[in-house]
Structures are given as structure tokens and as C-alpha cells.
Amino acid sequence: MNIENTDPKPGVVFMRTRETYYVQIGRERILCTASTKLKQEIVVGDFVVWDDKHRITTVRPRHNQFSRRAAGTGYQQQIIAANVDQVLIVMSVAKPRPRWNLLDRYLVSAEFAVIPALICLTKMDLVQGTAQREEIEAVASEYASIGYDIILTSTQTCQGIDELRSQIQASISALVGQSGVGKTSLINALEPELALRTQDVSHHSNKGRHTTTTSQIYPLPAGGFMMDTPGIREFGMWDMTEEDLIYGFPEMRPYQHACKFSDCSHHEEPGCQVRQAVMEGDISPYRYQSYLKLREDL
């Protein structure tokens, strides 16, 4: 069937490969390519318009986009997701072990993009009955006290799956996280009929293997959509200043302009209200150290 997009209403890109884009409009799905005249990058989640030869000619303005600094030596932007209602940050509590500073990178980038973030800790069954579980729960409590929603899950025991389902229904959620943390297993738990392929963590490196190689949007039975994104091992923040960075730590914002010096780096200057808040217990020492580490990487 030759589907011509004579309706000005755009379709949404629900999957892409290297040179092709799968676009959905209503119940129809169309395979498209990008017009050679189009200079803008097309990403999953974009609303696009195409011509009678199924060439995408227009990308509608995005409501938002979640980006990172592209891997490699150059300074380029990589847009991970566009037009989403929330970013679902997935981190395993074991195999691979949690990287809290990586979580903060995701959270700061979500704050900078003005996209709500939901934290999902997976594989809780692997720490059941251990001291590590108490440590995980303590860290989770810290993030919850800042104001983040955080859900502890296990696809093996179904812990937290119903709670997660209620948090993502009727919304478009972009799953982000390292390889091997269980993003694909989560989608399978939420929608078993998809039966997406998963891979175990490497026993040699204890790092995840890539299962998802391209972003794709899946509909969920209770309503809403899940955007699965490829796992990554590093997350460089994109186009962020020092002032942007501290804005990405909500608990530090009230103290941002209260320091003695207007250009305070919140590191060693006298009269720093951020450091004072840390000493008084109003800001987590861990989160403060995370801020300093991220500041070095800008």
C-alpha cells in the first residue's frame, strides 16, 4: 500500500536503523528514509512529515530532548530520546554493581533538560538477606529525601513491577542505563508478549553485553509507551556550565546564590553556603562529592 502523508498531522519515529526510519501514524506503520535536503538529525520519538516517496522532509520542533556528549574524542551531541514524559533511569544493585556517580550524571542531565526522572533499581533478589541490601536501601532513601521517585525491583520475584507499571502508565518513558542492568528484562516483565531477547552479564568483565542496539518504542498494555535505548558504559554531560551543573542538584539550589562570593565554586572558598549546608547535614556528603567530581569533568 502506498501511503501518502497528505494530512499535516505528523507520524512518530518509533524505531530507526542506520539509514531507515519506522514511522507510525494512527494504526499504520511506514518505512521511510531521510530526504537528502533534510539537515536535521532524526531520532526515535521525533514527529516527522514525509513525501509521497516516503522520504522524511520535516522534523517537527521537539518538546524536549535527552542528550549526552557522544563517545569519542570529538565534542558532539548525541540525542538519546526526544518528546518523552519522563526518563526512567535503570541501575542494577549487582552484576554489574551500581555506579552512583553515573546515576547522578543521568539525573543532572534530566534536570537540565527539564524532564522528570524516575529511578529504578533492579536485581534486588541478588542482595536479599545481605548487608549490601541495607546499604542499597540507605542510598535509595537519600535520593527519595531529595524528591526523586525510586523503585526497588526484581524481575525474578516481581518485586516492584506493579509499582513501576503504575508509575509509567499513560506516559512515554525513555529507559536509560548501562548494558546489563536489566532494561530489556523490565520491558518483558511489563509486557511478556514482547518476549524481547536478553543477554547475561559477562563473567570475565562483570559488564553488560549490548542486547538493545537501536532505540525503539513499545506500547504497554496498561497504557503508555516505553522507549528502550541501547545500553552505554559512559555518560558525558552535554553543553553544561558550572551554574547548570549545580542547578542539576535540586537540594543545592537554595544555597546557590547565598555564598559570600558570587563566583563561588562551592569547593574551598570561605563563606560557601553549599559547604555549610553539607556540614550541617542538609546536603548529603556523598552528593556533594559527586557534584565536585562532575564539576571536574565539565
Give the per-residue pLDDT at 2. 44
pLDDT of residue 231: 87
User: At a CB cut-off of 8 Å and minimum separation 6, what does 73 contact?
Assistant: none
Tell the residue number behind the cell numbers 551500581, with chain if given. Answer: 98
**Domains 65-228 and 242-296 belong to one CATH topology:** no
Per-residue pLDDT, 197 = 65
The Cα 150–Cα 148 span in angstroms is: 6
Distance CA 92, CA 102 (A): 12
Superfamily for domain range 242-296: Probable gtpase engc; domain 3 (1.10.40.50)
Ordered alpha helix ranges (H), 113-192:
131-146, 161-168, 183-190
| Low-confidence residues in the chain, pLDDT < 70 | 1-8, 197-213
Fold of the 65-228 domain: Rossmann fold (3.40.50)
pLDDT per residue as tens digits for the range 57-111: 999 999 999 999 998 877 899 999 999 999 999 999 999 999 999 999 999 999 9
pTM, entire model: 0.90
Quote the CA–CA distance of 246 and 265 in Å, as a whole number: 10
Would you say 5 and 25 are in contact if contact means Cβ atoms under 8 Å apart? yes
Give domain limits for the chain: 11-59, 65-228, 242-296
